[in-house]
Amino acid sequence: MISTPISSHSLPDIDPDEWNCEQVHDWLKSAGFEQYAHQIAVEHKIDGKILLLLTENDLREKPLQLSILGDIKRLYAAIGKLKIVSSSFRNNSDDLTNDSQSIYSNNGCRSFAENGGSFARDLINNDSIRQRINAAQNLNGISIQVYEHRRIDRSNVIEQIEAPDTQMKCMIKTGLAALYCSISLLLTSFVMVIVHDRVPDMKTYPPLPDIVLDSIPLIPWAFQVCEILASALGFTWLLVLIFHKHRTILLRRMFSLTGTVFLLRCVTMLITSLSVPGVHLECFSQTYVSFSDKIKQALRIWYGMGMSLRGVRTCGDYMFSGHTTVVTLLNHFVTEYTPDDWYYIHTASWVMNLFSVFFILAGHEHYSIDVFVAFYISSRLFLYYHTMAYHAKSMAVSDGRTRIWFPLFWFFESGGQVGRVENEYEWPLPDGETLKKLWNGLLKLISAAVSFENLKMKFWRQELVVIDKRAIIINDNSTSNAKSMKKSPKLKQYSTTHNEESDLLAVHSEKKVRQSKMNGKTKNS
């Protein structure tokens, strides 16, 4: 078997057509044909030009007459790849410069060096250069990964964004849209904290005149009903998302539109502070001491989604109505991404939208101008966005004006499914066969776990049996000793005599100790 060492000749830095015999010899050695290097390059004086002219028959027949078929095939394939490299040298002799290149071989990270210098190149975005690199990568049958260092410019970025979407690219876009929407809502919550601090004093600035609010009496529970209707619309839209075939596109459009509308709401809330619309509202300016307190309050609003049903009460966030924005967007998404003949769903969605607006006004939570502006901006932005998305084919997709005036739309919609999304539905869970395989795999896993537990129990039972046997043997030994003492009178008599002798010795030693003490006292006296 021929080894294939890596060397700098895997990526030749001069045209193979210009190699001399010594360079051919070096290439053959580095390519793993060391046993033929002397025969080909030295004996037959084959240089680079002749090497590229060799055919498979030249290798088989005299005078070379290689005998191993595998070596003949491998050498001829390597020469063929050298021909590709040589042709790319002739066509692009000025495209490759010795600047920078990083190569990772299958053995790990290697920095190639030749004559003490680093072997590096700057790979240019050119098809023929790529062809040369691909040929050189597998020149010796070695897996080499080449990292190209290219200058990133505006045209490359535009090309990548407008390239057709893959599944991974679509998921990344949806994730970025979700991040954009989350940041927008969090910023809105922070602005709501700021405008609450700046709410005008109710005694100094009474509610502004409003035709609708003056005509509708206050209904205390109206605002809670509005939030219940908004929750019902949200649940309906969630069901549509779950079963829709193109749910990722729907999510991406929902996130981008919601984030944009609420960013605009941040501006309108902040620039002008309207007075409280109803005298029943207990709104007082709250000055937070530290920035961290404002962040905590903003997180509470963000977590509670700005709903009074979740304990969120804010003031000053009037222009324009966030509740109206949400129900209007939900209504348009439900009606747009359900089939046209689902009349009952469409009717119910519009009824919930309009009644939500009415209950906002009946609760005197917003001025009528807040509700009107919110409905207009939300509906117009939804329609404009989808009109552009549906007619993107007729529009100049590569038109620079689209990228300038609608950068968010261009980023999220370029390369995706251009045109109207078909309202197709599917079961979100795997099919029956897949579920069956998953179930069988789960059963096998449970069976393996049960078998392991049974094996453990069997092992412990064997250990207990061994322990019980040892205990029985010990008990039998003690019992047999007791029985033997009963059966043998001599052994019993010996034991008794031995005990009596021990007692006598103890008494005798005690007497000697007492006598020595008495003698000591007599001498002292």
Q: Are 223 and 359 in contact (CB under 8 A)?
A: yes
Name the fold adopted by 8-151: DNA polymerase; domain 1 (1.10.150)
pLDDT for the residue 483: 54
pTM of the model: 0.57
Determine the residue type at 28: L
Query: CA-to-CA distance for 376 and 326, rounded, in angstroms?
Result: 12
pLDDT for the residue 120: 35
Q: 190-227 burial, b if ≥16 CB within 10 A, otherwise e?
A: bbbbbbbeebbebeeeebeebeebeebeeeeebbebbb
What is the residue-level pLDDT of the chain in tens, covering all 525 positions?
333 333 434 456 678 888 888 888 888 888 888 888 888 888 888 888 888 888 888 888 888 878 888 888 888 888 888 888 777 776 655 444 433 333 333 333 333 333 333 333 433 344 444 554 455 455 444 444 444 445 566 677 777 776 777 788 888 899 999 999 999 999 999 999 999 888 888 888 889 999 999 999 999 999 999 999 999 999 999 999 999 988 999 999 999 999 999 999 999 999 988 999 988 888 877 776 688 888 999 999 999 988 989 888 888 889 999 999 999 999 999 999 999 899 999 999 999 999 999 999 999 999 999 999 999 999 999 999 998 888 766 665 556 677 788 888 888 887 766 678 888 888 887 766 777 777 788 888 888 888 877 777 777 777 776 666 666 666 666 566 555 555 555 444 544 554 555 555 555 556 665 666 666 555 454
pLDDT for the residue 184: 96
Catalytic residue among 17, 58, 210, 370: 370
Determine the residue type at 366: H
Catalytic residue among 244, 323, 332, 364: 323
pLDDT for the residue 4: 37
144-147 sheet: strands from edge to edge: 108-110, 102-105, 144-147
Query: CA-to-CA distance for 280 and 274, rounded, in angstroms?
Result: 16
Alpha helices (H) along 92-153: 127-137
Count of CB atoms situated within 10 Å of the CB of 316: 23
- Our answer to whether residue 366 is catalytic in this structure is yes
Catalytic residue among 366, 399, 476, 498: 366
Domain boundaries, the chain: 8-151, 161-413, 432-474
- Our answer to whether residue 370 is catalytic in this structure is yes
